[in-house]
Amino acid sequence: MADDFRLANYLARIGVRGPVAPDYATLAALQLAQVDAIPFEGLDPLLGRPVKLDLVSLQAKLVDGRRGGYCFELNALLMAALEAIGFRVAGLGGRVRWMSPTESPLGPRTHMALKVDLPDGPYLVDAGFGACLMDKPMPLTAGAEESAAVGTYRLSEFDGMFLVSARQPSGWRAMYAFNLEPQLPADYALANYFTSTNPLAPFVNSLIMERVSGGKRLKLLDRRFTVEGRDGERVDERTIASAAELQGVLDRTFNVAPPAPIDQLFARIGG
């Protein structure tokens, strides 16, 4: 995969300049820069468009175009960049818990995350969890807690797996559970098809966008635009009242050019 990756273009897209190396400083810089420069967005599933995971399509959309993507795209892109630099990376599969009651059974692996091996041990790296984008790698050890620019994250044990959680105003909130079984491209292809086409999948029914920038978490859920500070503290919230206002938010806040007319997109996200 890394042989076909245009690393210089990627680094320019996320605004990382200077030398890069397979070390923690580069890893942290890339994750923080990517969640700022390339937003989480699910426009294609919402509009009934296919989500392609091949490296040519990912670079055309996320690097060359004014688009973001969701977890399979964002973390596949980051994985390719890390491999091109010389990191040892494995893809993981996560079972999302963000909207699930504590007592509910585990769902399928519909999230992609990364394990990156460094001399001091493995790290969990994730630039694509759209409900709460992680802005810093964290040691892949049960009991680890990582404080980042806009969030605090914790790893704990859960039914023989890891559980990553984010601190919120109401306390810790589970994000997803995972184990260390490496995922194959076929695993991601199946999960991607499900999340981008199933009528019950959130991305098929709602506009979900997020970016971490300037110490703030910027979120769009359908017509509700929210700004959060550290650990989910609500700073501002407003309702997008028109297609023109939605276009402004996409342009100025997320730097995204939608793949369909803005009036069509505004009508798709309801009242």
Active site residues: 71, 111, 126
18: tokens are 């200077």
CB crowding 90-119: b at 16 or more within 10 Å, else e? ebbbbbbbbeeeeeeeeeebbbbbbbbeee
On the 0-12 / 13-18 / 19+ scale of CB atoms within 10 A, 187 is middle
Ranges of beta strands (E only) in the chain are: 40-41, 88-96, 111-118, 121-125, 138-139, 145-147, 152-158, 161-168, 171-178, 208-213, 216-221, 224-228, 234-239
